[in-house]
Chains A and B, each alone.
Chain A
Amino acid sequence: MLTILFDGIAYGMLLFVLASGLAVTLGLMNFINLAHGAFAMAGGYITVVLVNRLGVPFLASLPLAFLASAAIGLVFERTLYVHVYKKPHLDQVLFTIGLVFMSVAAVDYVMGSSRIFIKIPEALEGQIDFFGVGIGRYRLMIIVICGLLTAGLQRVLARTRFGSRLRAAVDDPRAASGLGINVPQVFAFTFAFGCGLAGLGGALSAEILGLDPYFPLKFMIYFLIVVSVGGSSSITGPFLASLLLGIGDVAGKYYVPKLGPFVIYTIMIVILIWRPNGLFGRSAAR
């Protein structure tokens, strides 16, 4: 029972790191980015190459995955995404679906279509017995890393100068640029940071969720659930939503394996009907 809870929390934390970038682009910048999973996949595959082929230690490769995904995100944002911000939602959906298809085929071409595993260090394998509760070391590490990230993220958004700039740029881009905030720069940086987080999440999740070229398609719905259920007003909403989703999914798979993802989708639809702006969203969100 407690083990399920623990696994669920780890899974939820992972989903949060994966989806938090999307929460910013989708929730705050009002841009529907279905290709978010592609950046996570990029991070995952970069880690695979670093660890399995070049022999970089796993823990050292995590920051590299973050940086590489952020760089890729930045390039895409500056060259492609920036033209699509102002377009209608339908265009954004089409554009990002196109990107997903391309990334799936490209990764399939370069890395092959089979599922890939990352060699994780022995210190992270196995379980610790903690008052009779079996706790996976790897999952414990995920919780620690993701917990630190979440706290840091919350702090950056709420306390720092950059955080207030971002919030200002989101609330009213025109007024913000009038105040001398470089809105495109803020957006580009935020987007890149979100992609970096996704890449880090992808690197961490390869062990738990599995990594194959169809990753962006398979988990797209999960990311979207996190954001749409969590609402877009703050970082806490998506965080709680991803914990809920993680625990719900793990428990659902354990107790009623036959129903599969059925539980999650039903909960999502019910919540969205009950509160179309998400559980923790502002009622007057744009």
Chain B
Amino acid sequence: MTAQADVGHHARLHARWHWSEIAFWVLALACAFLFPSRYLIMTDIVRLALFALSLDLILGYAGIVSLGHAAFFGVGAYSAGLLALHGVVTEPVLALIVAGLVAMALGFVTSFLVIRGADLTRLMVTLGIALLLEALAERFSDITGGSDGLQGIEMQPILGLFAFDMFGKVGFCYCLAVLFLLFLLARRIVHSPFGLSLRAIRNNPLRAAAIGIPVNKRLIAIYTLAAFYAGVAGALFTQSTALASLDVFSFERSADLMLVLVIGGAGYLYGGLIGAVVFRMLQEVFATITPQYWQFWIGLVLVVIVLVGRQRLHRWVLWTPNLILRQFGGRKAIVAIPESDAP
């Protein structure tokens, strides 16, 4: 077998749907029926998962460290809010796409700034853009409602069929459907030759350029795409809560997002999704123990994660599930690979 065919074979093997992935999504859908009283928090988790997926695309696959990913989330949120408020696009799905496209346009423009410079410059520029947008949103308070946020948003029924109900069941299903569709798209992308080239760039930009990958173009493309995802996540936030306020741009949102991805593990698509579930539950637990000071414990979790080492931690966490899976599914059945071992 030639090296090329070998690589192709492995790539295809990884791209194949595994039964544990199907189980994951069935479980997610089952949640809609199992916990009818918890729709609000579950919707929150789904939104966060989509947002984390977006960061995973640029951080886990392309290796761009961003501290200002909330910028796109915020732009998506405000776009969706304004579209609904002024009745420009009243149909939620269409508004979702438009909001995503607005964030995408911003992502495209700012990507030229982000691909320049090393990690520190990237951190500064992404953080600066998010802060800039927050300052702008505060400044143009006649459009954005300033610190009060956008109020009085009324959502039309989805596709003209399903109206948002009081308990948030429709909202949850809607968010889950959007997440699933975008996940499929992301899955397709990261297993494509394009996705493989991104990983090559993450591992070594210089070598990637040497074997003929147009590094900057690829980075711009994935950054733009990630902005679209974040914009959609923001739009979902506005649509399911009927609210958009200044805190969508806040630094804490970007920082929390990092934590979500780190808990779940960057560099594989389920990382963001699992991280979102774990993070939100941790937050709930801490908030019930110490309502005012939960941030302290979140910070402690971060510090411990880094000190123990992310890769080691993931190996521990994945050890038990992988063991079980191996018992049932033969030796090749590994549901999740820590980023260090990912090809």
Contacts and interface: CB of A to CB of B under 8 A. Distances in A.
B116 interface: yes
Contact of B124 (A80, A89, A97, A268): A268
Contacts of B67: 93
B300 to A, nearest CB: 6
A228 B306 contact: no
Contacts of A184: none
A96 to B, nearest CB: 9
A269 B299 contact: no
B293 A108 contact: yes
Interface stretch (A2-10, A11-19, A254-262): A254-262
A105 B123 contact: no
Given A98-B301, A224-B127, A272-B117, A84 B296 contact: no
Interface in A136-193: none
A204 B262 CA distance: 37
A94 B132 contact: no
Q: Range of interface residues on chain B?
A: 35 or more
A98 B121 CA distance: 21
Q: Range of interface residues on chain A?
A: 35 or more
B77 interface: no
A1 interface: no
Nearest to B135: A262
A266 interface: yes
B103 interface: no
A106 interface: yes
B302 A260 contact: no
Interface in B286-319: 292-296, 298-303, 305-307, 310
B310 A276 contact: no
A94 B259 contact: yes
A102 B303 contact: yes
Given A104-B295, A260-B138, A91 B119 contact: no
Interface in B86-126: 113, 116-121, 123-125
B307 to A, nearest CB: 6
B155 interface: no
Nearest to A26: B120
Contacts of A53: none
A89 B135 contact: no
B251 interface: yes
Given A109-B296, A259-B139, A276 B132 contact: no
A273 interface: yes
B125 to A, nearest CB: 6
A82 to B, nearest CB: 11
A106 B299 CA distance: 11
B295 A273 contact: no
Given A89-B119, A228-B120, A273-B116, A221 B307 contact: no
Interface string A89-132: 11111110111111111101100000000000000000000000
Contacts of A91: 306, 310
Interface string A32-63: 10000000000000000000000000000000
A225 interface: yes
A79 B43 CA distance: 40
Contacts of A109: 292-293, 296
B153 to A, nearest CB: 26
A101 B296 contact: yes
Interface in B245-298: 251-252, 255, 258-259, 262, 292-296, 298
A98 B307 CA distance: 11
Contacts of A32: 119-120, 123
Contacts of A224: 123-124, 127
A221 B131 contact: yes
Nearest to B118: A276
B293 A105 contact: yes
A105 B121 contact: no
A214 to B, nearest CB: 10
B251 A90 contact: no
Contacts of B118: 276
B293 A97 contact: no
Nearest to B119: A89
B335 interface: no
A276 B303 contact: no
B258 A94 contact: yes
B80 interface: no
B220 to A, nearest CB: 15
Nearest to B293: A105
A109 B291 CA distance: 12
A80 B303 CA distance: 9
Given A102-B296, A265-B135, A273-B116, A228 B302 contact: no
B302 A98 contact: yes
Given A87-B306, A94-B258, A98-B298, 8 more contacts: A83-B307, A84-B307, A93-B67, A101-B298, A228-B120, A260-B135, A262-B135, A272-B121
9 contacts: A32-B119, A84-B306, A98-B298, A98-B303, A98-B305, A217-B252, A225-B124, A268-B128, A269-B113
Q: A-B pairs with the 4 shortest C-beta distances?
A: A98-B302, A101-B299, A105-B296, A276-B117
Interface of B: 59, 65, 67, 113, 116-121, 123-125, 127-129, 131-132, 135-136, 138-139, 251-252, 255, 258-259, 262, 292-296, 298-303, 305-307, 310
